[in-house]
């Protein structure tokens, strides 16, 4: 685990997971952005500044995504119920399908999440 990373709460971890899922196919589709906005509205009914979170994600190199993704998957796991994880997985699936094409990388990251959460 990266010492530079601080454990995130479930909502923040979910944001990181969704942002990486939306980026792994090499393009950020508008439909994906709208789903992430929907997630944020549900998880953060109060106004929250996610600039620092976005900056943390933006500076990652593509080869760092998997470690970052795994780290936040574990944060989410520690902070959620099985029901919340199942709901999030459904949401993640709709996100990777939002641009009408699921790439191999998107599928790989989605399966990684399922495996970490033992929801097979």
pLDDT digits (tens, 9 = 90+) for 8-41: 999 999 999 999 999 998 888 899 999 999 999 9
Q: What is the pTM of this model?
A: 0.91
Domain ranges of the chain: 10-116
CATH topology of domain 10-116: TerB-like (1.10.3680)
**Concatenated DSSP letters for 23-36?**
HTTS---HHHHHHH
Quote the CA–CA distance of 71 and 17 in Å, as a whole number: 9
**Which two structure tokens, joined as six digits, stand for 14?**
């979910």
pLDDT category of residue 45 using cuts at 50, 70 and 90: confident
What would you report as the CA-atom Rg of the chain, rounded to the nearest whole angstrom?
13
The upper half-sphere exposure of residue 17, i.e. CA atoms within 13 Å in the direction of its Cβ, equals 31
Quote the CA–CA distance of 112 and 17 in Å, as a whole number: 11
């Amino acid at each position: 685990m990266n010492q530079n990373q601080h454990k995130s709460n479930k909502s923040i971890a979910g944001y990181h997971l969704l942002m990486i899922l939306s980026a792994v196919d090499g393009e950020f589709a508008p439909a994906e952005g709208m789903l992430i906005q929907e997630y944020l509205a549900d998880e953060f009914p109060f106004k929250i500044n996610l600039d620092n979170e976005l900056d943390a994600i933006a500076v990652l190199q593509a080869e760092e995504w998997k470690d970052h993704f795994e780290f936040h998957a574990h944060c989410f796991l520690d902070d959620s119920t099985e029901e919340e994880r199942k709901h999030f997985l459904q949401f993640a699936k709709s996100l990777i399908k939002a641009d009408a094409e699921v790439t191999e990388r998107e599928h790989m990251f989605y399966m990684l999440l399922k495996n970490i959460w033992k929801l097979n």
